[in-house]
Amino acid sequence: MNIPNLITVLRVLLIPIFILLFYLPYHWSYLASASVFAFAAATDWLDGYLARRLEQSTPFGAFLDPVADKLMVAVALVLLVQEHGNLWLTLPAAVIIGREIVVSALREWMAELGARAHVAVSNLGKWKTAAQMVALVILLANPSDFSFWVLVGYALLLVSAALTLWSMIQYLRAAWPHLKTDAEKK
């Protein structure tokens, strides 16, 4: 267990804390939960940076890091869908969560074929993640009333959902020769 892995574990442990803060009946709970989420999102960058810088990449870290990210984002989206209860948030949330399931399954399947590199994380995925994290921080920090900031959060979440679909299509196109070949063998 090294420092980058401990930071990743911390990110997972922060999830119940930001849930608890989100549901507290105080006016500051939105900002508190958004702050914990933002801190956790920053640790995603930090653990990767330290793992590369200190040459401490491990199989455990390579497994847990994307799991921690997906858990954190899915939980935030579920909380926000429940709180906002509208199409502007529910549709992009379904797209984002659905894409994560599809791409995770695709990566697992491609790894079984020994072709995982064909569906490695791209720069588009990094832009998607940045838009998504900023949108989630903004939406977690504000009550569900239609305000300027909530509308900015919705807009960024829609951009993130569009980038999510685009990146999923790119991953599927990269994997298509393997999918097609396997289907032709049967």
Q: Based on the fold, state whether residues 34 and 110 are members of the same structural domain.
A: no
Do residues 145 and 161 both lie within one domain?
yes
CATH code (residue 31): 1.20.120.1760
Same domain, 89 and 63: no
For residue 24, the Cα-to-chain-centroid distance in whole angstroms is: 24
Give tens-digit pLDDT for 110-163.
Answer: 777 766 555 556 678 788 889 999 999 999 999 999 899 999 999 999 999 999
Say whether both 72 and 99 belong to one domain: no
The model's pTM is 0.87
Same domain, 6 and 59: yes
Give the pLDDT confidence of 120-130 residue by residue, as tens digits: 566 787 888 89
SS3 assignment, position 64:
helix
Measured CA to CA in angstroms, residue 137 lies from 2, 43, 78, 153 at distances of: 28, 14, 14, 8
Query: Do 150 and 68 sit in the same domain of this protein?
Result: no
pLDDT at 69 over 70: yes
Higher-pLDDT residue of 92, 126:
92
The pLDDT of residue 112: 76
137 shares a domain with 48 = no
User: Of 50, 84, 118, which residue constitutes the final position of a domain?
Assistant: 84
Query: Which domain, by its residues, includes 105?
Result: 85-185
| HSE-up (13 A, CA, CB side) for residue 79 | 27
Q: How far apart are CA 135 and CA 106, in angstroms?
A: 26
Query: For the chain, what is the mean pLDDT?
Result: 88
Whether residue 119 sits in one domain with residue 58: no
Q: Of 84, 102, 121, which closes a domain?
A: 84
**Averaged pLDDT, 69-88:** 95
Do 91 and 180 lie in one domain? The reply is: yes
Same domain (yes/no): 114, 50: no
Coil vs helix vs strand at 91: helix
pLDDT of residue 120: 58
Same domain, 21 and 51: yes
Q: What are the DSSP calls for 121-141, one per residue?
A: --HHHHHHHHHHHHHHHHHHH
pLDDT score, position 115: 60
Number of domains in the chain: 2
- CA 128, distance to chain mean position in Å, is 9
Decide which of 84, 106, 137 is a domain's last residue. 84
Q: How many CB atoms lie within 10 A of CB 136?
A: 26
Residues 125 and 65 in one domain: no
Report the alpha-carbon distance of residue 156 to residue 143 in Å, rounded.
Answer: 17
